[in-house]
Structure 1
Amino acid sequence: MVGNLLGLAALALGWRRSVWSWPVQLLSGVVLIGAYLSAHLTGLIGKQGIVIVAAVWGWTQWQRGRRATGEIEVRFATARERVVLVGATALATVALAGLFIAVPELSWSPWADAYIFTGTLAAMYAQARGWVEFWFAWIAVDLVGVPLAFTSGYTFSGVTYAIYFVLVLLGLQAWWTRTRTPRAVNPAVPQGVSA
Protein backbone atom coordinates (compact mmCIF):
# COMPACT_ATOMS: atom_id res chain seq x y z
CA MET A 1 0.00 0.00 0.00
CA VAL A 2 2.80 2.43 0.88
CA GLY A 3 4.65 1.75 -2.36
CA ASN A 4 1.54 2.29 -4.45
CA LEU A 5 0.62 5.50 -2.63
CA LEU A 6 4.15 6.78 -3.22
CA GLY A 7 3.71 5.87 -6.89
CA LEU A 8 0.53 7.95 -7.04
CA ALA A 9 2.38 10.87 -5.45
CA ALA A 10 5.21 10.52 -7.99
CA LEU A 11 2.69 10.53 -10.83
CA ALA A 12 1.05 13.69 -9.48
CA LEU A 13 4.47 15.36 -9.19
CA GLY A 14 5.36 14.30 -12.74
CA TRP A 15 2.09 15.73 -13.97
CA ARG A 16 3.14 19.08 -12.44
CA ARG A 17 6.63 18.67 -13.95
CA SER A 18 8.22 18.68 -10.49
CA VAL A 19 11.78 17.37 -10.15
CA TRP A 20 10.61 15.70 -6.92
CA SER A 21 8.72 13.17 -9.03
CA TRP A 22 11.97 11.24 -9.47
CA PRO A 23 13.08 10.64 -5.84
CA VAL A 24 9.50 9.71 -4.92
CA GLN A 25 9.46 7.21 -7.82
CA LEU A 26 12.75 5.78 -6.57
CA LEU A 27 11.35 5.28 -3.06
CA SER A 28 8.15 3.74 -4.44
CA GLY A 29 10.22 1.28 -6.48
CA VAL A 30 12.21 0.15 -3.45
CA VAL A 31 9.05 -0.47 -1.40
CA LEU A 32 7.25 -2.33 -4.21
CA ILE A 33 10.22 -4.61 -4.93
CA GLY A 34 9.91 -5.86 -1.36
CA ALA A 35 6.22 -6.61 -1.91
CA TYR A 36 6.62 -8.36 -5.28
CA LEU A 37 9.59 -10.54 -4.25
CA SER A 38 7.34 -12.84 -2.18
CA ALA A 39 5.08 -13.54 -5.18
CA HIS A 40 7.93 -14.05 -7.69
CA LEU A 41 6.38 -11.48 -10.07
CA THR A 42 9.46 -11.03 -12.21
CA GLY A 43 7.94 -8.47 -14.56
CA LEU A 44 6.66 -6.30 -11.74
CA ILE A 45 9.96 -6.64 -9.85
CA GLY A 46 11.84 -5.76 -13.04
CA LYS A 47 9.49 -2.85 -13.60
CA GLN A 48 10.34 -1.43 -10.18
CA GLY A 49 14.06 -2.02 -10.76
CA ILE A 50 13.75 0.04 -13.93
CA VAL A 51 11.85 2.70 -11.99
CA ILE A 52 14.75 2.98 -9.54
CA VAL A 53 17.47 3.21 -12.20
CA ALA A 54 15.43 5.54 -14.40
CA ALA A 55 14.52 7.72 -11.41
CA VAL A 56 18.19 8.45 -10.75
CA TRP A 57 18.87 9.20 -14.43
CA GLY A 58 15.62 11.17 -14.91
CA TRP A 59 16.32 13.25 -11.84
CA THR A 60 19.66 14.34 -13.27
CA GLN A 61 18.07 15.06 -16.68
CA TRP A 62 15.32 17.24 -15.21
CA GLN A 63 17.72 19.08 -12.90
CA ARG A 64 19.95 19.86 -15.90
CA GLY A 65 16.95 21.00 -17.97
CA ARG A 66 15.65 23.19 -15.18
CA ARG A 67 19.06 24.85 -14.72
CA ALA A 68 19.26 25.53 -18.47
CA THR A 69 15.77 26.99 -19.01
CA GLY A 70 14.30 27.62 -15.58
CA GLU A 71 11.60 24.94 -16.04
CA ILE A 72 11.00 21.40 -17.21
CA GLU A 73 10.12 21.67 -20.88
CA VAL A 74 7.82 19.14 -22.51
CA ARG A 75 7.34 18.36 -26.17
CA PHE A 76 6.21 15.67 -28.55
CA ALA A 77 8.94 13.34 -29.74
CA THR A 78 9.98 13.66 -33.36
CA ALA A 79 8.85 10.99 -35.82
CA ARG A 80 12.34 9.47 -35.76
CA GLU A 81 12.41 9.43 -31.93
CA ARG A 82 9.02 7.69 -31.88
CA VAL A 83 10.10 5.03 -34.37
CA VAL A 84 13.28 4.35 -32.40
CA LEU A 85 11.39 4.20 -29.09
CA VAL A 86 8.66 1.85 -30.38
CA GLY A 87 11.13 -0.31 -32.34
CA ALA A 88 13.55 -0.66 -29.43
CA THR A 89 10.68 -1.46 -27.08
CA ALA A 90 9.31 -4.16 -29.41
CA LEU A 91 12.73 -5.77 -29.94
CA ALA A 92 13.53 -5.68 -26.23
CA THR A 93 10.15 -7.24 -25.41
CA VAL A 94 10.75 -10.14 -27.82
CA ALA A 95 14.30 -10.67 -26.54
CA LEU A 96 13.29 -10.56 -22.88
CA ALA A 97 10.30 -12.84 -23.42
CA GLY A 98 12.68 -15.28 -25.14
CA LEU A 99 14.91 -15.20 -22.07
CA PHE A 100 11.94 -15.75 -19.76
CA ILE A 101 10.76 -18.69 -21.90
CA ALA A 102 14.27 -20.22 -21.98
CA VAL A 103 14.64 -19.81 -18.20
CA PRO A 104 11.12 -20.49 -16.84
CA GLU A 105 12.06 -19.86 -13.20
CA LEU A 106 12.50 -16.17 -14.07
CA SER A 107 8.84 -15.68 -14.98
CA TRP A 108 5.53 -17.51 -14.90
CA SER A 109 4.11 -15.10 -17.49
CA PRO A 110 6.96 -14.44 -19.95
CA TRP A 111 5.21 -12.20 -22.49
CA ALA A 112 3.32 -10.08 -19.96
CA ASP A 113 6.40 -9.69 -17.76
CA ALA A 114 8.61 -8.77 -20.72
CA TYR A 115 6.03 -6.29 -21.99
CA ILE A 116 5.68 -4.61 -18.58
CA PHE A 117 9.44 -4.50 -18.06
CA THR A 118 10.34 -2.97 -21.42
CA GLY A 119 7.25 -0.75 -21.58
CA THR A 120 8.18 0.74 -18.23
CA LEU A 121 11.72 1.38 -19.44
CA ALA A 122 10.34 3.13 -22.53
CA ALA A 123 7.97 5.24 -20.43
CA MET A 124 10.66 6.32 -17.98
CA TYR A 125 13.06 7.18 -20.79
CA ALA A 126 10.40 9.29 -22.53
CA GLN A 127 9.53 11.03 -19.26
CA ALA A 128 13.16 11.91 -18.61
CA ARG A 129 13.32 13.41 -22.12
CA GLY A 130 10.15 15.41 -21.46
CA TRP A 131 8.23 13.70 -24.26
CA VAL A 132 4.44 13.73 -24.13
CA GLU A 133 4.59 10.16 -25.46
CA PHE A 134 5.65 8.95 -22.03
CA TRP A 135 1.98 9.12 -21.05
CA PHE A 136 1.05 6.86 -24.00
CA ALA A 137 3.72 4.39 -22.92
CA TRP A 138 2.24 4.26 -19.41
CA ILE A 139 -1.22 3.68 -20.85
CA ALA A 140 0.15 0.73 -22.83
CA VAL A 141 1.85 -0.71 -19.72
CA ASP A 142 -1.26 -0.26 -17.57
CA LEU A 143 -3.43 -2.13 -20.09
CA VAL A 144 -1.42 -5.26 -19.21
CA GLY A 145 -0.27 -4.39 -15.67
CA VAL A 146 -3.71 -3.72 -14.19
CA PRO A 147 -5.23 -7.12 -15.14
CA LEU A 148 -1.98 -8.89 -14.15
CA ALA A 149 -2.05 -7.32 -10.67
CA PHE A 150 -5.67 -8.44 -10.14
CA THR A 151 -5.08 -11.99 -11.41
CA SER A 152 -1.96 -12.27 -9.22
CA GLY A 153 -3.95 -11.47 -6.09
CA TYR A 154 -2.63 -7.92 -5.67
CA THR A 155 -6.05 -6.27 -5.54
CA PHE A 156 -4.81 -3.07 -3.89
CA SER A 157 -2.11 -2.73 -6.57
CA GLY A 158 -4.69 -3.40 -9.28
CA VAL A 159 -7.01 -0.72 -7.91
CA THR A 160 -4.08 1.69 -7.55
CA TYR A 161 -2.95 1.02 -11.14
CA ALA A 162 -6.52 1.61 -12.32
CA ILE A 163 -6.40 5.00 -10.57
CA TYR A 164 -3.00 5.58 -12.22
CA PHE A 165 -4.69 4.95 -15.55
CA VAL A 166 -7.17 7.77 -14.96
CA LEU A 167 -4.43 10.08 -13.69
CA VAL A 168 -2.27 9.21 -16.69
CA LEU A 169 -5.08 10.33 -18.99
CA LEU A 170 -5.31 13.62 -17.09
CA GLY A 171 -1.51 14.00 -17.13
CA LEU A 172 -1.50 13.38 -20.87
CA GLN A 173 -4.03 16.16 -21.32
CA ALA A 174 -1.99 18.53 -19.12
CA TRP A 175 1.30 17.90 -20.96
CA TRP A 176 -0.41 18.01 -24.36
CA THR A 177 -1.93 21.38 -23.44
CA ARG A 178 1.48 22.56 -22.19
CA THR A 179 3.00 21.92 -25.63
CA ARG A 180 0.35 24.23 -27.12
CA THR A 181 0.94 27.05 -24.60
CA PRO A 182 3.61 29.61 -25.55
CA ARG A 183 6.46 29.57 -23.06
CA ALA A 184 7.27 32.85 -21.31
CA VAL A 185 10.83 34.04 -21.85
CA ASN A 186 12.93 33.85 -18.69
CA PRO A 187 15.19 36.94 -18.68
CA ALA A 188 17.73 35.14 -16.45
CA VAL A 189 18.29 32.43 -19.07
CA PRO A 190 20.29 33.24 -22.20
CA GLN A 191 18.26 32.80 -25.38
CA GLY A 192 19.05 29.73 -27.47
CA VAL A 193 19.60 27.49 -24.43
CA SER A 194 17.36 24.44 -24.26
CA ALA A 195 17.03 21.31 -22.15
Structure 2
Amino acid sequence: MNDPLTFLGFPTTPLELISFVLSIVTVLLNIRRIHWAWLFAIVSSATYGVVFFEARLYGDAGLQAVFIAAAVWGWYEWLRGTGEDDKPLVVTRLDAKGWIWSLAGWGLGFYILSWFLHAYTDTDVPHMDGFLTAGSLLGTLLAARKKVENWHVWIVVDILYVGLYVYKDLHLTAILYAVFVGMAALGLRAWARAAREGAR
Protein backbone atom coordinates (compact mmCIF):
# COMPACT_ATOMS: atom_id res chain seq x y z
CA MET A 1 0.00 0.00 0.00
CA ASN A 2 2.84 2.41 0.88
CA ASP A 3 5.48 0.82 -1.36
CA PRO A 4 8.41 3.03 -2.41
CA LEU A 5 8.11 4.90 -5.68
CA THR A 6 10.00 7.59 -7.60
CA PHE A 7 8.64 11.11 -8.02
CA LEU A 8 10.57 13.81 -9.90
CA GLY A 9 13.59 11.53 -9.69
CA PHE A 10 13.43 11.21 -5.89
CA PRO A 11 12.56 8.09 -3.90
CA THR A 12 9.39 8.53 -1.85
CA THR A 13 6.22 6.74 -0.80
CA PRO A 14 2.56 7.42 -1.62
CA LEU A 15 1.98 8.63 1.94
CA GLU A 16 4.87 11.09 1.79
CA LEU A 17 3.61 12.34 -1.58
CA ILE A 18 0.07 12.86 -0.23
CA SER A 19 1.51 14.66 2.80
CA PHE A 20 3.59 16.85 0.48
CA VAL A 21 0.54 18.02 -1.50
CA LEU A 22 -1.61 18.60 1.60
CA SER A 23 1.14 20.65 3.22
CA ILE A 24 1.51 22.90 0.18
CA VAL A 25 -2.24 23.57 0.21
CA THR A 26 -2.08 24.29 3.95
CA VAL A 27 0.59 26.97 3.59
CA LEU A 28 -1.05 28.57 0.54
CA LEU A 29 -4.32 28.94 2.46
CA ASN A 30 -2.44 30.16 5.54
CA ILE A 31 -0.70 32.90 3.57
CA ARG A 32 -4.12 34.13 2.45
CA ARG A 33 -5.50 33.77 6.01
CA ILE A 34 -8.24 31.37 4.89
CA HIS A 35 -9.44 29.34 7.86
CA TRP A 36 -9.67 26.10 5.86
CA ALA A 37 -5.87 25.99 6.17
CA TRP A 38 -6.38 24.44 9.58
CA LEU A 39 -8.39 21.52 8.16
CA PHE A 40 -5.62 20.72 5.70
CA ALA A 41 -3.12 21.11 8.55
CA ILE A 42 -4.97 18.45 10.54
CA VAL A 43 -4.98 15.94 7.68
CA SER A 44 -1.38 16.60 6.59
CA SER A 45 -0.19 16.33 10.20
CA ALA A 46 -1.87 12.93 10.53
CA THR A 47 -0.24 11.56 7.39
CA TYR A 48 3.16 13.08 8.12
CA GLY A 49 3.02 11.62 11.63
CA VAL A 50 3.23 8.16 10.08
CA VAL A 51 5.97 9.20 7.64
CA PHE A 52 8.14 10.66 10.41
CA PHE A 53 7.61 7.72 12.76
CA GLU A 54 8.82 5.35 10.08
CA ALA A 55 11.91 7.56 9.62
CA ARG A 56 12.60 7.48 13.40
CA LEU A 57 12.01 11.23 13.71
CA TYR A 58 10.02 10.72 16.87
CA GLY A 59 9.99 14.36 17.89
CA ASP A 60 8.49 15.29 14.55
CA ALA A 61 6.09 12.35 14.69
CA GLY A 62 4.85 13.32 18.15
CA LEU A 63 4.73 16.93 17.05
CA GLN A 64 2.11 16.04 14.46
CA ALA A 65 -0.31 15.02 17.22
CA VAL A 66 0.30 18.36 18.90
CA PHE A 67 -0.15 20.07 15.53
CA ILE A 68 -3.56 18.44 15.18
CA ALA A 69 -4.65 19.75 18.58
CA ALA A 70 -3.13 23.17 17.82
CA ALA A 71 -4.87 23.24 14.44
CA VAL A 72 -8.25 22.68 16.10
CA TRP A 73 -7.47 25.55 18.49
CA GLY A 74 -6.13 27.73 15.67
CA TRP A 75 -9.24 27.11 13.60
CA TYR A 76 -11.39 28.16 16.54
CA GLU A 77 -9.25 31.26 17.14
CA TRP A 78 -9.54 32.36 13.53
CA LEU A 79 -13.30 31.83 13.46
CA ARG A 80 -14.34 32.79 16.99
CA GLY A 81 -11.28 34.17 18.73
CA THR A 82 -11.22 37.74 19.88
CA GLY A 83 -8.44 40.21 20.21
CA GLU A 84 -8.39 43.24 22.43
CA ASP A 85 -11.71 44.77 23.47
CA ASP A 86 -13.53 41.63 22.31
CA LYS A 87 -12.95 42.52 18.66
CA PRO A 88 -12.29 39.85 16.01
CA LEU A 89 -8.71 38.58 15.91
CA VAL A 90 -6.61 40.62 13.49
CA VAL A 91 -3.02 40.27 12.30
CA THR A 92 -0.63 41.94 14.75
CA ARG A 93 3.04 41.95 15.72
CA LEU A 94 4.73 40.77 18.89
CA ASP A 95 5.94 43.43 21.28
CA ALA A 96 9.33 43.14 23.01
CA LYS A 97 7.84 41.13 25.86
CA GLY A 98 6.23 38.76 23.38
CA TRP A 99 9.57 38.21 21.65
CA ILE A 100 11.27 37.43 24.96
CA TRP A 101 8.60 34.94 25.99
CA SER A 102 8.62 33.32 22.56
CA LEU A 103 12.39 32.83 22.47
CA ALA A 104 12.45 31.63 26.08
CA GLY A 105 9.70 29.12 25.30
CA TRP A 106 11.60 27.89 22.25
CA GLY A 107 14.75 27.44 24.34
CA LEU A 108 12.95 25.60 27.13
CA GLY A 109 11.11 23.40 24.65
CA PHE A 110 14.40 22.57 22.92
CA TYR A 111 16.03 21.58 26.20
CA ILE A 112 13.15 19.35 27.35
CA LEU A 113 12.51 17.71 23.99
CA SER A 114 16.15 17.01 23.13
CA TRP A 115 16.71 15.52 26.59
CA PHE A 116 13.63 13.31 26.24
CA LEU A 117 14.47 12.17 22.72
CA HIS A 118 18.06 11.37 23.69
CA ALA A 119 17.07 9.51 26.86
CA TYR A 120 13.99 7.60 25.73
CA THR A 121 14.17 7.01 21.96
CA ASP A 122 16.59 5.56 19.44
CA THR A 123 16.69 8.67 17.25
CA ASP A 124 20.10 9.63 15.91
CA VAL A 125 19.29 13.36 15.82
CA PRO A 126 17.82 14.21 19.24
CA HIS A 127 19.11 17.78 19.44
CA MET A 128 18.15 18.90 15.94
CA ASP A 129 14.80 17.10 16.21
CA GLY A 130 14.15 18.75 19.58
CA PHE A 131 15.16 22.22 18.39
CA LEU A 132 13.00 22.09 15.27
CA THR A 133 10.07 20.48 17.07
CA ALA A 134 10.07 23.27 19.66
CA GLY A 135 10.36 25.90 16.92
CA SER A 136 7.50 24.36 14.98
CA LEU A 137 5.31 24.47 18.06
CA LEU A 138 6.12 28.14 18.53
CA GLY A 139 5.40 28.90 14.87
CA THR A 140 2.02 27.18 15.11
CA LEU A 141 1.03 29.00 18.29
CA LEU A 142 2.00 32.37 16.81
CA ALA A 143 0.07 31.60 13.62
CA ALA A 144 -3.01 30.68 15.66
CA ARG A 145 -2.85 34.10 17.31
CA LYS A 146 -2.24 35.78 13.91
CA LYS A 147 1.19 37.11 14.83
CA VAL A 148 3.36 38.21 11.89
CA GLU A 149 6.42 36.73 13.58
CA ASN A 150 5.19 33.18 12.99
CA TRP A 151 6.73 33.56 9.53
CA HIS A 152 10.13 34.52 10.95
CA VAL A 153 10.08 31.32 12.98
CA TRP A 154 9.02 29.23 9.99
CA ILE A 155 11.80 30.63 7.79
CA VAL A 156 14.47 29.58 10.32
CA VAL A 157 12.86 26.20 11.01
CA ASP A 158 12.21 25.36 7.36
CA ILE A 159 15.80 26.12 6.29
CA LEU A 160 17.14 23.76 8.96
CA TYR A 161 14.52 21.11 8.17
CA VAL A 162 15.80 20.91 4.58
CA GLY A 163 19.16 19.66 5.84
CA LEU A 164 17.60 17.29 8.35
CA TYR A 165 15.31 15.66 5.80
CA VAL A 166 18.12 15.25 3.28
CA TYR A 167 20.10 13.51 6.03
CA LYS A 168 17.13 11.23 6.77
CA ASP A 169 16.64 10.42 3.05
CA LEU A 170 13.24 12.13 2.96
CA HIS A 171 14.18 13.94 -0.22
CA LEU A 172 10.69 14.90 -1.33
CA THR A 173 10.00 16.37 2.10
CA ALA A 174 13.32 18.24 1.91
CA ILE A 175 12.14 19.78 -1.37
CA LEU A 176 8.83 20.64 0.29
CA TYR A 177 10.59 22.52 3.07
CA ALA A 178 12.80 24.35 0.58
CA VAL A 179 9.58 25.49 -1.10
CA PHE A 180 8.23 26.40 2.35
CA VAL A 181 11.13 28.82 2.86
CA GLY A 182 10.02 30.81 -0.17
CA MET A 183 6.37 30.55 0.81
CA ALA A 184 7.17 31.73 4.33
CA ALA A 185 8.88 34.79 2.87
CA LEU A 186 5.73 35.50 0.87
CA GLY A 187 3.63 34.92 3.97
CA LEU A 188 5.77 37.34 5.97
CA ARG A 189 5.28 40.03 3.35
CA ALA A 190 1.53 39.46 3.10
CA TRP A 191 0.97 39.36 6.87
CA ALA A 192 3.16 42.41 7.47
CA ARG A 193 0.94 44.32 5.07
CA ALA A 194 -2.17 42.95 6.77
CA ALA A 195 -0.82 44.07 10.16
CA ARG A 196 -0.31 47.59 8.86
CA GLU A 197 -3.88 47.62 7.54
CA GLY A 198 -5.37 46.00 10.66
CA ALA A 199 -6.80 43.18 8.53
CA ARG A 200 -8.19 39.90 9.72
Q: Does the 8 Å CA contact 1:6/1:27 hold for their aligned counterparts?
A: yes
Q: Deviations over 1:39-63 (max 9, x none)?
A: 2111321332222121011111111
For the pair 1:170 / 2:186, whether they are aligned, the reply is yes
Query: How many matched pairs?
Result: 182
Cα gap change, 1:182/1:89 in structure 2, threshold over 3 Å: closer, same or farther? closer
Q: In the TM superposition, what is the alpha-carbon distance from 1:104 to its structure 2 partner? A: 4.1
Q: CA separation in 1, counterparts of 2:115 and 2:176? A: 30
Q: Does the 8 Å CA contact 1:47/1:116 hold for their aligned counterparts?
A: no
Pairing of 1:131-142 with structure 2 (within 5 A): 131-142=147-158
Q: CA separation in 1, counterparts of 2:112 and 2:81? A: 33
For the pair 1:84 / 2:101, whether they are aligned, the reply is yes
Q: Can you give the 5+ residue segments of structure 2 that lack an aligned partner in the other structure?
A: 1-16
- The residue type paired with residue 85 of structure 1 is S
Q: Can you give the 5+ residue segments of structure 1 that lack an aligned partner in the other structure?
A: 184-194
Aligned pair partner of 1:74 in 91, 94, 99: 91
Q: Deviations over 1:58-78 (max 9, x none)?
A: 111111138x656x5101012
> Given the two structures, how large is their TM-score scaled by the length of structure 1?
0.86
Q: CA separation in 2, counterparts of 1:50 and 1:140? A: 20
Q: Does the 8 Å CA contact 2:59/2:113 hold for their aligned counterparts?
A: no
Identity %: 28
Q: Does the 8 Å CA contact 1:4/1:157 hold for their aligned counterparts?
A: yes
Aligned pair partner of 1:101 in 115, 118, 124: 118
2:4 counterpart residue number: none
- The residue type paired with residue 81 of structure 1 is G
Q: CA separation in 1, counterparts of 2:179 and 2:144? A: 22
- The residue type paired with residue 80 of structure 1 is K
Q: Deviations over 1:120-173 (max 9, x none)?
A: 110000001110010011112112211111111111100011001100000100
1:190 counterpart residue number: none
- For the residue of structure 2 that corresponds to 1:73, the secondary structure is coil
Q: Does the 8 Å CA contact 1:43/1:112 hold for their aligned counterparts?
A: no
1:115 counterpart residue number: 131
Q: Does the 8 Å CA contact 1:146/1:158 hold for their aligned counterparts?
A: yes
**Stretch of structure 1 that moved more, 140-149 or 125-134:** 140-149
- The residue type paired with residue 114 of structure 2 is A
> Given the two structures, how large is their TM-score scaled by the length of structure 2?
0.84
Q: CA separation in 2, counterparts of 1:155 and 1:50? A: 24
Q: In the TM superposition, what is the alpha-carbon distance from 1:82 to its structure 2 partner? A: 1.3
Pairing of 1:1-195 with structure 2 (within 5 A): 1-65=17-81, 69=87, 73-105=90-122, 107-181=123-197
CA RMSD for the aligned pairs?
1.9
